Each structure stands twice: as C-alpha cells, then as structure tokens.
Amino acid sequence: MPRLSVITVDGPSGAGKGTLSHLLADTLHWHFLDSGALYRVTGQACVMEGVSWEDAAAVTEVARHLQVEFFTDGNGEVRVLYKGTDVSREIRTEEGGRGASTVAAIPAVREALLQRQREFLRPPGLVADGRDMGTVVFPDAPLKIFLTASSEERARRRYRQLLEKGENVSLPRLLEDIEERDARDSSRSVSPLVPAEDAIVIDSSHMPIADVFAAVMAAARERGLA
C-alpha cells in the first residue's frame, strides 16, 4: 500500500462523517472514499440477486465480484451503479443501512472489500469515511478522526433528513434502529467500530459542523497535511 497523505474519519451512522469528509476532500482537493457505500451496494446487490443477507458464503461471492461504479453527475451528486443500474437511492434508505451493517459483520466480506478500498488511495491524498478506516484499512494514516454523537441526537438528525425527503418516518423507530446498528457494529468479531488508539475523538452532539471542520483542519495543518 503506497504511503500517501490520508485522513480517516470513522464513527457511527449519523455522527456527521459524510459531511465532514466531503468538506475536507473539497478543501484539500483530495480524493474521497465512502467505504460504507461499498457495503450498502453489497447489501443491495444481494437483494437484486436474490441472496439472503444471512447467507455468509453467498454474500461473500457477491462482494468478491461486485460490479460497482461511482461517478459525479451534472448536479455534483455522487451516483452509484451496480451492473449498470443506478442504485443511489436504494442504498441510502434505512433498509439499505440495515443491509450494509448485516453484510459488514461477515469477516470474508470485509476481506473481499479491503483491497478495493485501499485502491482509492492515490495522489494527492485521500479522505476515507467509514467505520474501520483508521484501525484496519489505513492503519498508518497520519491523521485519524473518530466522530461520534449521542444516539438520540443522531436519530433526530436522521429524522429531519428523511422528513425533508418527504418520507414518513418514526423517531422512536429510527432511534431503535440506530441503537441496534451500534450494537451490531461495535460487537462484531472483525473490525469492530472502535476508535483507533491514536485517533482524535470528537463528540459532535452539541457542536456545529463548522466547528468540527475547523478543529480537524487545525489538526491537519499541525501534521503538514494542509
């Protein structure tokens, strides 16, 4: 794996990882990896191929041969294709999140997608958003961020997001889903959701994203990355 500039941003769903990572990548003019999208696409591919998320062997085969493409459309939105079919909307639903978390708990699936994630690391640098970017995928990253927030605050954020999209959602159900996913992600046998030992941990529960971004950019400058 080449030694290049990389900032990892790990943490649970709804903590603000995606927003922070996009801001960093845009500001630094670096590449961006949404590792969760690979797991979400794997889960959606299983649905499209008629494979149960609980069938570890079959899910692993899907992951090993995953035909996925990412591109930015004319509106600047990242689109995701599986075998040529746009699955951008499907993978961002709550069901898509459950599928990602379920298949990500399979060790062989994580192994199958590991090298694909590392291939995103190329000049001039990479911002990697995920759950094990700093612990497993890029353990030598010079700057590792672990962004967290209370489950209640993350549920409220997701609730507002979905309401803005016109979806009929239940806040208590969202909170239950988030807590279940947290438990699944943090207790899995391989690559559990934990901060790297040398990560900077930031609780964004009561912190505007602008302040989080400023703190991370300051840390990046200290390390000669910005």
3 state SS for the chain: CCCCCEEEEECCCCCCHHHHHHHHHHHHCCEEEEHHHHHHHHHHHHHHHCCCCCCHHHHHHHHHCCCEEEEECCCCCEEEEECCEECCCHHHCHHHHHHHHHHHCCHHHHHHHHHHHHCCCCCCCEEEEECCHHHHHCCCCCEEEEEECCHHHHHHHHHHHHHHCCCCCCHHHHHHHHHHHHHHHHHCCCCCCCCCCCCEEEECCCCCHHHHHHHHHHHHHHCCCC
**For residue 29, what pLDDT is reported?**
93
Tens digit of each residue's pLDDT (9 = 90 or more) over 133-160 = 999 999 999 999 999 999 999 999 989 9
Tens digit of each residue's pLDDT (9 = 90 or more) over 70-101 = 887 777 777 899 999 999 999 988 899 889 98
Average the pLDDT over 101-127 and give the result. Answer: 91
**For residue 128, what pLDDT is reported?**
96
How confident is residue 3, by pLDDT bands cut at 50, 70 and 90? low
